[in-house]
Structure 1
Amino acid sequence: MEELKNVVSAPFKKNLAVSLPEKDFEFSLAFDLKWFSPKTASEVKARALEAGLLSLKDGIITPCFDVDSVRLPHAFKPPENFLELHGKPGKSGKPGNASRHREEISFEQVLDFISADAGINKQRLVSEINSMQERLSYLVDIRIVALIVAKNFGCRIEGVHEKVSRAVLGSSDYA
């Protein structure tokens, strides 16, 4: 996962951008950095979306982690068999399975996102989340409580809001 984070952070670092159009992200991986073929760059993007490292809304890709905290080793280049090392999406590699997998987001993933975005250590976040969860009598999914706490800390939750909505409610239409 760390290597995937390194790879997906590179286009944002290279372009000094906080978000990129979907095609620009793929173009950067394939042509600017010359790491992958266009088809492989698209697959890398799909894997990063599934892993919760990127969010995609209206054709714009935004990282779900602090890109500035990623330190790429000098002359970093992913191995040629990069996608093989990171497995296939879903059990059969079919888009249907990848879509279902993409809807799941764990509490740990939400916590990682908030910690990176707000710059707050996880222990403090968990303490705040547990306190709010107790005040809410444990009636609200912990991932939703985490997003509420994140907003209280001024965190931009757009990157995970839709994923949490889909995971908890089954649809983002309720958000």
Structure 2
Amino acid sequence: MEELKHVVSAPFKKNLAASLTEKDFEFSLAFDLKWFSPKIASEVKARALESGLLSMKEGVIVPCFDVESVRLPHAFKPPENFLELKEKPGKPVSAVRNREEISFEQILDFISADAGINKQRLVSEINSMQERLSYLVDIRVVALIVAKKFGCNIERIHEKVSRTVLGFSDYA
């Protein structure tokens, strides 16, 4: 439970916020801190809500403990087997996470949040660019090109997209 409290406090500390939307909380765990996939970040949120560390009020997540009293060690990162979740029968998350791919939808979510552009406009721009490239480039790569066009900082997802598109199975 103490480990979960450390993990849950981090997005609030990082954002200097007393409350966060569900999306901002999960985004912080997955993309800002780079601790979990978006799916695992959602599981962390659910587990923290179930355990009473967080509460939901009008679509906003509020910690049920004093976040400032939690001291995170320097360079804190949760262990690979955090929460001991299972994604596939017989395979712990730590075994699956190393081969996890990033989907087009996750990329859209990231770009939309980072650049503040609605998804409909993004999809339109991506489709237009994809057409200009004669559909010869993977749509996830095209999404990154469009993201750069809108001034989005893609550094946090560039490597994951590259590895997904190129088919590398493990992250060194």
* Cα separation, partners in 2 of 1:107 and 1:52, compared to 1, 3 Å: farther
SS of aligned partner of 1:48: coil
How many equivalent residue pairs? 115
Structure 1 residue 114: deviation in Å? Answer: 0.3
Deviation string for 1:15-41 (max 9, x for gaps)? Answer: 447xxxxxxxxxxxxxxxxxxxxxxxx
Q: Give the letter aligned to residue 131 of structure 1.
A: S
The whole-number CA distance in structure 1 between the counterparts of 2:119 and 2:105 is 10
1:74 Cα offset (Å): 5.6
Partner of 2:164: 167
Q: Secondary structure at the match of 1:72?
A: strand
Is the aligned partner of 1:152 residue 2:149? yes
**What is the Cα deviation at residue 130 of structure 1?**
0.4
**Contact 1:115/1:125 (<8 A) preserved:** yes
State the partner residue of 2:127.
Answer: 130
Which residue of structure 2 aligns with residue 13 of structure 1? Answer: 12
Rounded Cα–Cα distance in structure 2 between residues aligned with 1:142 and 1:152? 15
Aligned to 2:70: none
- Within 5 Å, give how 1:95-110 maps onto structure 2: 95-100=94-99, 102=100, 104-110=101-107
Q: Distance in 2 between matches of 1:98 and 1:111?
A: 20
CA deviations over 1:16-74 (Å, ceiling 9, x no partner) = 47xxxxxxxxxxxxxxxxxxxxxxxxxxx997247486xxxxxxxxxxxxxxxx94236
Letter in 2 for 1:98: R
Output the CA distance in 2 between the equivalents of 1:124 and 1:147. Answer: 14
The one-letter code matched in structure 2 to 1:165 is: S
| Partner SS, residue 36 of structure 2 | helix
The one-letter code matched in structure 1 to 2:131 is E
| Cα root mean square deviation, aligned | 3.5
1:119 maps to what in 2?
116
TM-score computed with the length of structure 1 as normaliser? 0.54
**Do 1:110 and 1:146's aligned partners in 2 also have CA atoms closer than 8 Å?**
yes
CA distance in 2, matches of 1:89, 1:153: 34
